[in-house]
Homo-oligomer: A and B are copies of this chain.
Amino acid sequence: MKNKAEDTETERPLKKIEELGNEIVRDIKLGNNPKFVTTVRSRSNIIFDPKKGYLALGSSKEERNFINVAQSKRFMQTVAVAAKCHKFVQEGLHTTIRGLFYQLKFSLGEDVDENIFSEQSESNPLIEDIEVALDVKREGLNLNANRKGVLAGNMRIIDTFGNEKIEIDCSKQGRSGWAIPSDVDNDIEFVDIKAKYVLVVEKDALWQRLNEDLFWKKENAILMTPQGQAARGTRRLIRKLADRGLPIYIFTDSDAWGWYIYWTIKTGSINLAYMGSDVATPEARFLGVTMSDLDNYEFLNKMTIKASEVDLKRAQEMLNYEWIKRHADWEAELQRMIKSKIKLEQDALQGPRLTFVGDYVREKIKNKKYLS
């Protein structure tokens, strides 16, 4: 059922893990100290490149050796994790990092009866080590991440699932929308993308509002919500849609949490810096709600909320972020909140009438009223 490109996608992780194993066996046979090399993921090695516009890892490497009292347990654990993932990919079955942990607790392999994992906090960083060292995403290792987010719009999905090619028309999902999965790379295709842009709405409540108005149909857009902070799968999908040339507009509250959602989609995050450009969309634009909306929409002045200490502290911090302080429009926004100590929710746009939300978005896009 799979086409060639997909086959390669499945075989690559297998090959990469096998290469790692073969190297270790070779070292043992040659009497060398087996080693595992990965890129350092601590803050000291996370870099923001203004030209690229996203957070990524630098070049610092870290080596783990088997014959080293301080490192041998971790070395063994890394090999055990790689072996389990190899098995999952071979079986064609998926689990989570929790499921992987329980498999490691159950048994390390056919003739190993040692329990070298007592907490999941031991196996989690090793998965990231392997992702980075082998240049394979955990989705390719058949490990599902948490998923969240839905979308509607003029696009079809071909999901190769249970030996069937299942077609999903994202314009025929009614009130529910299509639930964005954890893995949007393997055995799944996005076809017939007729939509002209992507609107990412922070809150599911506002997504439902716009979906009911058939906003995506009238505007020929893909209407998406990450349902709060965007999960790995949703961030990856936004990147993939941007790669197809679709403009990405982000629509959140004007508060610390909303800004965080925007900047995570745009520049990536510290935690996922190791995935670099795969989960960052520097082309994304911030549509609103903005503090400057208060000048253009009189009624919003009745709708403001007191900013919390967290909001104010976060705004102050953002003024110092390398990737934000370069943007004069953002500086003005942040300074305005700090001065006025108020914030605005996207829900407030429903004040005058429920359908005003869509009019607001339309007007913003038409007049290119977005922040960089």
Contact segment of A193-201, A206-214, A312-320: A206-214
* Residue on B nearest A145 in the bound complex, by CB: B205
Given A94-B212, A95-B354, A350-B103, are A161 and B180 neighbors across the interface (CB < 8 Å)? Answer: no
Task: Closest B residue to A188 by CB, please name it.
Answer: B175
Chain B nearest CB from A118 CB (Å) reads 10
Question: A179 on the interface (CB 8 Å rule)?
Answer: yes
Is A268 interfacial (CB 8 A cutoff)?
no
Which chain B residue has the least Cβ–Cβ distance from A96? B205
Tell me the bound Cα distance from A350 to B143 in angstroms.
13
* Interface residue A347 (Cβ < 8 Å from any Cβ of B): yes
Instruction: Report which of B95, B96, B352, B354 forms a contact with A93, defined as CB distance below 8 A.
Output: B354
Residues of B contacting A191 in the complex (Cβ-Cβ under 8 angstroms): none
| Segment at the interface with B among A31-39, A47-55, A73-81, A166-174 | A166-174
The range of chain A's interface size is: 35 or more
What B residues does A166 contact at CB under 8 A? 172-174
List residues of chain B with CB within 8 A of the CB of A302. 105-106, 115
- Interface flag for A147 (CB, 8 Å): yes
A102 touches which of B96, B107, B150, B347 (Cβ 8 Å): B347
Contact of A95 among B103, B168, B204, B350 (CB under 8 A): B350
- Determine whether the beta carbon of B98 is less than 8 Å from that of A347: yes
Instruction: Tell me, rounded to whole Å, the shortest Cβ–Cβ distance linking A33 to chain B.
Output: 32
From A175, A217, A354, A355, residue with most partner B Cβ within 10 Å? A175
- Taking a contact as CB atoms under 8 Å apart, the answer to whether A94 and B208 are in contact is yes
Nearest CB to that of A176 among chain B residues? B179
> With contacts A162-B217, A205-B96 known, is A176 near B181, CB below 8 A?
yes
User: Is A102 within 8 A of B303, CB to CB?
Assistant: yes
Chain B residue at smallest Cβ distance from A98: B347
Are B93 and A355 in touch, CB under 8 angstroms?
Answer: yes
Type the 1/0 row for A299-325, where 1 means its CB is closer than 8 Å to any CB of B. 100110000000000000000000000
Q: Mark A141-156, 1 if CB is under 8 A from B, else 0.
A: 0001011001000000
A206 CB, nearest partner CB in chain B, Å: 9
A178: which of B106, B176, B213 is its contact (CB, 8 Å)?
B176
| Residues of the B chain whose Cβ atoms lie less than 8 Å from the Cβ of A161 | 174-175
Given contacts A166-B174, A172-B166, A173-B166, contact A209 B95 (CB under 8 A): yes
Asked if A106 meets B299 with Cβ closer than 8 Å, knowing A95-B354, A205-B98, A347-B99, the reply is yes
| Min CB gap A363→B, angstroms | 18
Supply 5 A–B pairs (Cβ within 8 Å), ascending by A.
A105-B302, A106-B303, A159-B176, A175-B188, A179-B179
The 9 closest A-B pairs by CB, nearest first: A159-B174, A106-B351, A176-B179, A161-B174, A99-B350, A166-B174, A96-B205, A102-B351, A93-B354
